[in-house]
Amino acid sequence: MTGKGIVKIVTDIPGPKSRQLYSENEQNVPRGVGHQTPIAVSSAKGATVTDVDGNTYFDFAGGIGVLNVGHRADEVVRAIKEQADKYLHVCFHVLIYESYIRLANKLNTITPGQFPKKTLLLNSGAEAVENAIKIAKYYTKRYGVLSFLEGFHGRTALAMSLTGQIQPYKSNFGPSVPWVYHLPFAYCYRCPFGQTYPSCEVVCARYMERIFESEISADAIAALIVEPVQGEGGFIVPPKEFFPELRRICNEHGIVFIDDEIQTGFARTGKLFAAEHFSIEPDMVLTAKSLGGGMIISAVTGKAEIMEAPHVGGLGGTYGGHPLSCQASLATIDIIERDNLAGRADSIGKKLKEALYAMQERYPIIGDVRGLGAMVAVELVKDRATKEPAPKETAQIRVKCYQNGLIMLSAGIHHNVMRILVPLVITDEELEEALSILEEAFKSI
């Protein structure tokens, strides 16, 4: 399980059935498909998971941000079953169906931006990223793309090129797609310019203009793609001036602004979409993960004028907007709106931050506590003054957590961030119990 430069993650398989399955996994599945825990699931509901040996865990991972409405939400399961009784697959290029069109209409309505929109449905986040760039290139007749250091946009060739993290995503996978340029993100805890906010005047946002002078001219850039809060990068929240400044520069040069909400979307940050926190209107919004409530779906929603650029037959795919996934998504969005999960994310986030700030006072290893809504993380360091990253200890804490019944994820370019993507249906009692497991793990290090 050890990758180059990556700490060993999986230790102690939790029981005989898990051990057996894990060994069969090693024999049959390539090691490149890494694992954050050795837990083999048997069932899951709400914010908890049970493994094949009968152990139960609080789930702070939510399938990596997929389960904002929780595991097996009743309405989602019902919608899938009802659809399965009618038809499974017909391919939207062959026969149209209502759920695809209703979901496109819903996304056109709820995504940020007061202008006519259209939506293309696909399967994975990476596929949404690929299609958004493809459409932006067609529309602008330009071929350059800007993305960010520490950013993550997926594992396909172009999405991997846009990603700003070498380990484990890019190393040894060959040259990037050409004409992709990475900009510094507003990572204030480790400012790439060695400055401090607000006296820095958010200099990072204007770095794009340096690239236009030295690397590629602005009129060759089709699109800028950015996560409003960097997810895999370690839940990095930029200051409020960052996005308006990026938007201003994009407007000035006719660059399509693509907002990758694949991890931040659907109430996670306390608003339906994180861009709403920064008062910007992106030209395109990408969604996946919690859009499907556990089913496989992604979407590109954008200004109608941009989305209409490609010719008939230039977009799509066999499974894009699968009927089971469309019905699951419609049920998911209903739950999010009906139960005000954005409000719930806000209150979960406040509880998490309060508990984590208190832990920061007790455990010097916690260098930074940050996040937006219920997208909260801690960055672990060996020394608060030098900020030397603590990846080994991060992995040890994660192991301690699952041994005691809490599934945690790590993130960050230095593999030293513990992030929380708990289902937003967790109860206050469950949350408190889970946090006490986390505290025990910090205590043990």
Binding site for ligand PLP (CB under 6 A): 64, 124-126, 129, 152-154, 227, 231-232, 260, 262-263, 288
Question: Nearest distance from residue 133's CB to ligand PLP, in Å?
Answer: 12
Nearer to ligand PLP, 70 or 292 (CB): 292
Task: Please calculate the CA angle 42-45-48 and round it to the nearest 5 degrees.
Answer: 80
DSSP state, residue 50: E
Question: Nearest distance from residue 155's CB to ligand PLP, in Å?
Answer: 6
Is residue 266 a contact partner of residue 292, using CB atoms and an 8 Å limit? Answer: no
Is residue 245 a contact partner of residue 165, using CB atoms and an 8 Å limit? Answer: no
Nearer to ligand PLP, 139 or 152 (CB): 152
CB atoms within 10 A of CB 39: 24
Question: Nearest distance from residue 231's CB to ligand PLP, in Å?
Answer: 4
Nearer to ligand PLP, 288 or 424 (CB): 288
Nearer to ligand PLP, 160 or 431 (CB): 160
Identify the H or E element spanning 257: strand 256-260
Question: Nearest distance from residue 409's CB to ligand PLP, in Å?
Answer: 11
Identify the H or E element spanning 105: helix 98-110
Identify the H or E element spanning 239: none
* Beta strand pairing call for 256-260 and 388-389: unpaired
Nearer to ligand PLP, 18 or 287 (CB): 287
Nearer to ligand PLP, 218 or 407 (CB): 407
Q: In the β-sheet with 48-51, what is the strand arrangement from edge to edge?
A: 41-45, 48-51, 56-59, 406-407
Amino acid at 159: A
Question: Nearest distance from residue 262's CB to ligand PLP, in Å?
Answer: 4
Q: CA 12 to CA 37: how far, in whole Å?
A: 9
325: Cβ contacts below 8 Å, ≥ 6 apart: 123, 292, 295, 296, 297
Nearer to ligand PLP, 246 or 365 (CB): 246
- DSSP track, 188-223: GGG-TTS--TTTTTTGGGGHHHHHHHHTS-GGGEEE
Question: Nearest distance from residue 158's CB to ligand PLP, in Å?
Answer: 12
Nearer to ligand PLP, 400 or 419 (CB): 419
When CB distances to ligand PLP are compared, the closest residue is 125
